[in-house]
Amino acid sequence: MKAKLLVINEIGAINRVLRLVSLLSDYPHLNAKQAADLLGWPVSSTHRLLRKLADLEFAQQTDKGNFSAGMELYRIVGRLSGKMPFAEIAEPLLAALTAQFNETSMLTILERRQLRMYTALAASPQDPMRYVVELNRRAPLVWGAAGRALLAHLGQDEIETAITTCDTPNIRGEVLDEAEIRGALEETVRKGFAMTRSHRTLNSIGVAVPFFGSQGDVIGSVGFQIPSFRFRDEQTDGLVKALTQTASIIAQQIGAKPSF
């Protein structure tokens, strides 16, 4: 019985540490109270864990008491990032998309349990008007073409949760309109791609196509982010065709299901 309780306690401790490390990656500068509030933990135990992570160089503490990712965490991430299978597969494909259309292309990965997504890889053109895409930061699925291309292919309960728990407005300060997003998700399934305007970046157009795993579950999406002044409606078919081909190649190379 004691051994079983010990194992349970160890699993709980590991879970807390991993959640705290994950939080440090999403919020680069936060204090113990902010971390505790985000995680729903007591401040005292959260501070002890942060200090332990700092002792092991997985976190670092500033003079003002804030914590951020430490050098050991950066070292591990640096060693692993180039080995991520999606990145290795998608990097030349995104480069080809960007070279063909002279626009920023992106690979987005779904975190299904959290109903979140993150941009794992991006390719930018040489054009002076281009976007700097923040990688590996979790974002809600309800805003942007990349997220909606994923959300449209989740279960109805998941879609309901994503919609009802969204309290984040888009870049223009607009709150989520349930009727609008449900209609947009239905259109995404029907057309095979998502398109949004100024959801996550002002004056931009997002276009994205999903790709699926071997069991038919949506895994991620590939898409473009295009300045509004450069976008023309007649481009849509060509953009979607190229994205669909790229999504199918990624799916096939990971032994999964093509987009269509």
Residue 46: the pLDDT is 92
Q: Is 219 helix (H, G, I), strand (E, B) or coil?
A: strand
Residue 256 pLDDT level (bands cut at 50, 70, 90): low
State pLDDT tens for residues 88-97: 789 999 999 9
Domains of the chain as residue ranges with CATH:
2-77 (1.10.10.10), 82-253 (3.30.450.40)
State pLDDT tens for residues 187-232: 999 999 999 999 999 999 999 999 998 778 899 999 999 999 999 9
- Is the whole model's pTM more than 0.95, yes or no? no
Residue 8 pLDDT level (bands cut at 50, 70, 90): very low
Distance CA 204, CA 231 (A): 9
Q: Going edge to edge, which strands form the sheet with 139-140?
A: 139-140, 116-123, 104-111, 218-227, 204-212, 194-197
User: How large a percentage of the chain has pLDDT more than 90?
Assistant: 63
Q: What average pLDDT does the structure give for the chain?
A: 88
Q: Which residues are registered as beta bridge partners of 68?
A: 60
State pLDDT tens for residues 20-44: 988 888 787 889 999 999 999 999 9
How much is the average pLDDT of 244-249? 95
Distance CA 153, CA 89 (A): 23
Name which of 225, 214, 222, 161 is nearest 192 in CA terms: 222
- What tokens does 40 get? 């729903």
Residue 117 pLDDT > 90: yes
User: In terms of C-beta distances under 8 Å and separation of at least 24 residues, what long-range contacts does 16-22 make, across chains too?
Assistant: 16/41, 16/49, 17/49, 17/53, 20/46, 20/49, 20/50, 20/53, 21/53, 21/58, 21/73
Residue 64: the pLDDT is 81
